[in-house]
Amino acid sequence: MFLEPAYRLIQLIGNSEFTQTFIAVDEKDYPFVACVVQKIRLRSQSGILDASQLGESQNLDRKIILLQQLEKYSLFPKLLSSHLEENYIYLIFEYVEGKNLNKLLSEHGKLTEIQVWQLLTDILPAINLLHSYNLIHCDIKPSNIIYNPNSPQQKFILVDFASARIYDKNHLFIGNKVITGNPEYIAPEQLNTQPIFSSDLYSLGVSCIYLLTQVSPFYLFDSANNKWVWRDYLQTQIGERIGNILDRLIDKDINYRFHSAQDVMEAMGISSVSVKSKFKFKSQTQNNEYPKLASLHTLTSQISLASEVNTVAIHPHNQILASGHNNKNIYLWDLQTNQVLKTIPGHLQAVESICYSQDGKILASASNDKTIKLWDAHNYQEVITLIGHTKAVKSVVFSPDTKYLVSGSWDKTVKIWDVENGKEINTLTGHKQQVSAVALSPDGLYVASASFDKTVCIWKLEQALSSEAEIHYNPASILSGHTWAVLTVAFSPNGEILATGSDDNTIKLWEVKTGREIATLSGHSWSVTGLIFDLTGEFLISSSKDKTIKIWRVSNHEEIIIVCEHEDSVMAIAANFNTQSDMPIIASGSQDKTIKICKLEFGS
């Protein structure tokens, strides 16, 4: 079948009451080019235009002009041409490679939390731009989102603008008496033929909860109690932050729903589509020495592939790496052969944090089973189990002299332990919500604790150890500035700067003695999960749920290099700058069930 002037219709891929969508070939020039043709019926079956179709016909030119203006943006397929023929308008778009999400789900199953976050990161800027042109898509659903894993930039692309409506200041819409969109995904006001900008956000949110559950949205809403029950259908629990965002997207009350795509992007901490590349170098700084990747290796085995990696630590003196996993085990790796040396069972739930003492004699591990275990780092036999926390222990760190161990827990407390006898010395109770991470300054003077209450507490260790502190000890300072949970903290080598990473996608630098905020480093598109300073304090290494590791120059807050190697969230990083070679080792552990090892070199 041909459409003049030279479009051959190859395959029908979509069919609704008013629109048919075809894969086609543009044969007017050689080589032929694939395209998508949307055939939109303007007249009713009787051949008489009704009022809504009359509005559609009279405003199509305006809609086409707006769609053509979007050609300059890579967020959308380009409108190549349009033709009016008898009772139909034909819109010809460039062909977008990939699979729609309905097909993807049928082949590979439901999406993960990080894939849905990536979808939002890619699609929201497109919706925001579309709305800035006063266009409402009106038909956002999984089959109208294309996934192309080979795309150098955005992986998810919004397509099919046949149902798009123009919004004007009088709230009048083209075809305002026609219900457009799929009943499973459209907002209540759109069902009443009055879509608004947030109607697209509702459809996007409903698409996301379907992609997470692979259950029809009709079953995800409890009509009897007038509430969404999508969480009941999750086989794997998701983070509180993305869950709250999805809840606001799908709120049936427009007063509580996000009002604009920009609002959602701000809640996620993104402002535009992130440019993703395997390695990305920013501009060189005045100091012509900057870190470069020298080599990259992946640690995998039949054992580790079975479980996500939560934490990694490198022995300070030997070529050994320890990793903690969701399957309750710790694994020891030989960094020279990249092979597993030993599997260490013992915990009853996921291992969330591990660390070596600076003398390399003890390995500490913290678990969701509420315990901390100390292991002899010579033979890796258990020395003692520390019991005292009432909820999951998320972070542990040794004092520089190995006399003390500090732990942070979801019971909202920080505990200080005597390493020699395993006794609890003190409990610090300054946080209002879960403690996610702890760190000790290199001189052993300060303890920093990060929390879901969006703050970081700095404690003076000497005062916390005193007998007077057993009653109640207040932090020396409380750092406030992050807008979401703080997940990670790290001191600079001289102990003067504290770096904090948050669920708000940012890193903040603070002056330890005064609590003054020095700078905010923005660049990650999702939660920052790990931070490490190099030995000079000039560079800061960060890991994120956005799958990347970044290196920053601390002096001017510049992003130097991005490493994009993992296929899922990077949950932890570790470094060893005391290697026999001149190249520091960085290890990263991910939910993709792998550990990546890279070496850095400094050059001009």
Tens-digit pLDDT profile for residues 133-167:
899 999 999 999 999 887 766 789 999 888 888 88
**What local confidence, expressed as pLDDT, does residue 289 receive?**
56
> Would you place residue 345 in the very low, low, confident or very high pLDDT band (cuts 50, 70, 90)?
very high
**What local confidence, expressed as pLDDT, does residue 23 receive?**
86
**What local confidence, expressed as pLDDT, does residue 86 receive?**
73
Cα 506 to Cα 437: distance, rounded to the nearest angstrom: 16
Q: Which of 187-191, 273-277, 513-517, 558-562 has the lowest mean pLDDT?
A: 273-277
Cα 287 to Cα 378: distance, rounded to the nearest angstrom: 42
CATH 1.10.510.10 fits 99-268, yes or no: yes
**What local confidence, expressed as pLDDT, does residue 280 receive?**
33
- Report pLDDT digits (tens) over 76-120: 888 888 888 777 888 888 888 889 999 999 999 999 898 999 899
Cα 108 to Cα 113: distance, rounded to the nearest angstrom: 15
Could you name the CATH architecture of 279-587+595-603?
A: 7 Propeller (2.130)
**What local confidence, expressed as pLDDT, does residue 271 receive?**
53
Output the pTM of the full model: 0.70
Nearest-CA neighbor of 528 among 561, 491, 569?
A: 569
Whether residue 9 contacts residue 24, with contact meaning beta carbons closer than 8 Å, is answered with yes
3-state SS, residue 362: strand
> Would you place residue 522 in the very low, low, confident or very high pLDDT band (cuts 50, 70, 90)?
very high
Give the residue with greater pLDDT, 272 vs 475. Answer: 475
pLDDT above 80 for 581: no
The set of residues, in sequence order, having a beta carbon less than 8 Å from that of 518 and lying 6+ positions away, is 497, 508, 509, 510, 511
pLDDT above 90 for 474: no
Cα 54 to Cα 60: distance, rounded to the nearest angstrom: 10
Question: What average pLDDT is seen over the chain?
Answer: 85
Nearest-CA neighbor of 94 among 157, 40, 136, 141?
A: 157
- Report pLDDT digits (tens) over 382-418: 999 999 999 999 999 999 999 999 999 999 999 999 9
Residue 391: φ, ψ to 5°: -140, 180
Domain ranges of the chain: 2-94, 99-268, 279-587+595-603
> Could you please report the per-residue DSSP string of 503-540?
TTSEEEEEETTT--EEEEEE--SS-EEEEEE-TTSSEE
Q: In one letter, which amino acid is 139?
A: D
Residue 412: φ, ψ to 5°: 80, 10
Q: Which of 22-26, 408-412, 553-557, 570-574 has the lowest mean pLDDT?
A: 22-26
Residue 3: φ, ψ to 5°: -120, 125
- Report pLDDT digits (tens) over 240-293: 889 999 999 999 999 999 999 999 998 887 754 343 332 233 333 334 455 665
**What local confidence, expressed as pLDDT, does residue 292 receive?**
62
Laid out side by side, the sheet with 570-576 consists of 290-299, 595-603, 585-590, 570-576
Residue 34: φ, ψ to 5°: -70, 150
**What local confidence, expressed as pLDDT, does residue 82 receive?**
84
**What local confidence, expressed as pLDDT, does residue 293 receive?**
58
DSSP state of 430: -
**What local confidence, expressed as pLDDT, does residue 11 receive?**
86
Cα 465 to Cα 476: distance, rounded to the nearest angstrom: 14
3-state SS, residue 227: strand
Burial grade of 594 (CB within 10 A; 0-12, 13-18, 19 or more): buried
3-state SS, residue 266: helix
The set of residues, in sequence order, having a beta carbon less than 8 Å from that of 16 and lying 6+ positions away, is none
Nearest-CA neighbor of 260 among 244, 250, 249?
A: 249
What is the widest separation between alpha-carbon atoms in the chain? 91
Identify the CATH assignment for 2-94 out of 1.10.357.10, 3.30.200.20, 1.10.10.10, 3.40.50.720: 3.30.200.20
pLDDT above 60 for 308: yes
Nearest-CA neighbor of 137 among 116, 108, 166?
A: 166
Whether residue 323 contacts residue 333, with contact meaning beta carbons closer than 8 Å, is answered with yes
**What local confidence, expressed as pLDDT, does residue 178 receive?**
62
pLDDT above 70 for 444: yes
Whether residue 77 contacts residue 36, with contact meaning beta carbons closer than 8 Å, is answered with yes
* Whole-angstrom Cα Rg for the chain: 28
Verify cis geometry, omega within 30 degrees of 0, for the bond prior to 149: no
**What local confidence, expressed as pLDDT, does residue 58 receive?**
55
DSSP state of 419: T
Find residue 22's DSSP bridge partners.
12, 37
Instruction: Record the tokens describing residue 388, joined without a space.
Output: 């005292």
Cα 419 to Cα 391: distance, rounded to the nearest angstrom: 21
> Would you place residue 462 in the very low, low, confident or very high pLDDT band (cuts 50, 70, 90)?
confident
